[in-house]
Amino acid sequence: MLPPDGVSRSADGDAPVDRGAGGGGRLRFWTMELLAPARRWLAALLGLAYLFDFVLNLARRDGLAEALLPLPLLAFTLLALARPLLGVVGGALWLVGGSYVAAVNGQAVITRVGIETLFLSETVAIGALVAIAVWRGKRGAAFVAIPVLAVAGMAASVLRLSQHYSSYYYLLDSHQLVVMALSGGVVLLGGCIVGYALRTHDDHGTSAQTRQLIRRQWPLAAALLVLILVDMSSSTGAVLNPVGRDLIYLVPVVFLLATAACAVLGPIAPVRYTMIAAVVMVGASMALSPLTLIFGSYSMFPVPLSVAAAHMALVAYLARYAERGKAAAGVGALVVVDVLVALSVYGMVDLSWEFMFIAGFLLVVAVATGQYFRSRDRERAQSVKVAVTGAQQAERMALARELHDVVAHHVTGIVVAAQAARMVGATNPAAAVQAMERIEAAGGEALAAMRMLVGSMRGAPVAGAEGQATMDLAADLRALVDNFAGPEIDMTMDLPDSLPPEAGRSVLRIVQEALTNVGKHARGATKVTITIGVVADELRLRVADDATRVELRPPGGSGGYGLVGMRERIDLLGGRFTAGPGEPNGWVVDAGFPFRAERAGRGEQGVDRG
């Protein structure tokens, strides 16, 4: 069923696909699917595996015909990304049907890489089908895919072995059954792990810690499973030849899987899982010892590559995450156990100096890798700390500027009105009443501004807060001039249409702060001139008064941060800022910042406020 918008998504959910009627919609669907990242990665993996099979088959006289056998299964695997059930069922049917056709035509397929009698590309395709069924399929799809593919693989092996041994009713002996079951089980388990990792990554109901662990560790889990499969393939001939010893191979397989699980879970508690891995090593050695006495020496069993890789991962996790003392104890315990187990299994004769040198080199590589990532984590944490501190400082500075610009303007108006009321209260009560009304209005405006500022900090919409965005700078400047309780203002504006909101906000705040300073310090001023316009690719702003005396200390205490805030705003825009005495008198605030845009006809000439 399509979503309500009638548009379905691609295999990995990142691109819309038109599945409307007609060949054009189907073509677009397959085009988008082929371009999807999941399909590209899968196609590359299957292509590399098939290239390996193709090169091996070229060495045989009739190998070219056999090289075509895996292609339909690979196609069904790619189809499974869009149709999981169809891909699994189709792949299973071809696995059986293709093997039957090959057997009828006298093509004997015997391989020693991966599952016996299956090509490497077919082994990879089976694991990929299981992963896709777990990832993309509905609930319970994996319970259908796993037995279907297991039965199909077993049937394909029987058919191919029948042709190899010239028997239409070939039955697997215990040796082949155990080897095939263990190899197939590892492939199916690997597919389930990869599919569950991908499904958990998309499932927001899973805990964040679990999603992070799976997202980081599933490549290691898949690599260890591949190495386990290689270990099993390389050791079957040496260990499992006698029929009576087949089930003994379950012991090292369980040991390999348990060691791999410890490596995958290592980042959670590296010391704990390293000790568990050491205990697993000792337990496997003790379990194999009585079997060695019964069935003979197992020294031909090669050193498991998966165990070496898992132990290297654990050593790296210890060096990266654990404390120095605990890391040294964990690495020492694991090394001692590995040496003792190697001596007990292989003896002094088989452990050459080359073997010991390689083992020591791998230990150094693991420790160095862990130390590298530990140093990188420390540097990253320091960078994050510096970035957070810088962001907090910038936020504090922005808050200080905003608080000063919003509140100081209104408070200054209150102070000026109160001073005027005190001076004329005895002689002109009506003027005092008007001053008190202005104080009340300014107090209400200050309170509203504080509420808007607090609301913006909390992220909540506040009535009237949209004015802070300065959508109409000219209107905001006119309102600011009209509400100014001070000398006469002569304002000239020539504003561009495409002025960015942040630049307009800075212009408004600078004019507001400049007028606030006029009210505080410009004693005897009769006129204020404001000029705003674009001059030579620069937006210029100039505020000047004609005060005959400048009060350097504002009423009520020490100097404020108005000039500092104005300078910071202009610096953020990459401009320049100056403030100082004018000629022949007064005070001048002059600012400018780069601006390249077409000038608009929004300017106003000679806007006076008496």
- Tokens, residue 21: 């009627």
Helix (H) or strand (E) segment spanning residue 591: strand 587-594
Bond preceding residue 37 cis, omega within 30 of 0: no
Helix, strand, coil percent content, the chain, rounded in steps of 5: 70, 10, 25
Residues 92 and 104: their CA atoms lie apart, in Å, by 19
Higher pLDDT, 552 or 2: 552
Q: What are the C-alpha distances in Å from 100 to residues 97, 146, 159? A: 5, 21, 6
pLDDT surpassing 80 at residue 525: yes
Q: Would you state the pLDDT for residue 254?
A: 79
Average pLDDT value for residue range 439-452 = 73
CA-wise closest residue to 580 among 543, 554, 553, 555? 543
The SS3 assignment for 529 reads strand
Q: Would you state the pLDDT for residue 37?
A: 65
Helix extents (H) in 165-301: 174-202, 208-239, 250-264, 270-295
- Tokens, residue 414: 């209150």
Residues 536 and 219: their CA atoms lie apart, in Å, by 59
Over the Cα atoms of the chain, what is R_g?
40
pLDDT surpassing 80 at residue 406: no
Q: Would you state the pLDDT for residue 529?
A: 92
Q: Would you state the pLDDT for residue 569?
A: 80
User: Which range (46-50, 314-318, 413-417) has the least confidence?
Assistant: 413-417
pLDDT surpassing 70 at residue 467: no
* Torsion angles phi and psi, residue 61, rounded to 5: -70, -45
User: Which range (24-33, 117-126, 564-573) has the least confidence?
Assistant: 24-33
Average pLDDT value for residue range 463-484 = 70
Q: Would you state the pLDDT for residue 35?
A: 40
DSSP state of 492: E
pLDDT surpassing 90 at residue 364: yes
Strand order in the sheet with 488-494: 576-581, 587-594, 538-545, 527-534, 488-494, 604-609
Average pLDDT value for residue range 271-279 = 91
Query: pLDDT tens across 211-245, in order?
Result: 677 778 878 887 887 788 777 766 544 444 443 44
pLDDT surpassing 60 at residue 294: no
Q: Which residues pair with 493 in a beta bridge?
A: 532, 604
Q: Would you state the pLDDT for residue 107?
A: 62
* Burial zone of 579 (CB within 10 Å; 0-12 exposed, 13-18 middle, 19+ buried): middle
Most confidently modeled of 322-336, 495-509, 512-526? 322-336
Contact of 519 with 560, CB cutoff 8 Å: no
Most confidently modeled of 62-71, 169-178, 316-325, 591-600? 316-325
Residues 268 and 260: their CA atoms lie apart, in Å, by 14
Average pLDDT value for residue range 373-397 = 84
Higher pLDDT, 477 or 38: 477
* Torsion angles phi and psi, residue 400, rounded to 5: -65, -45
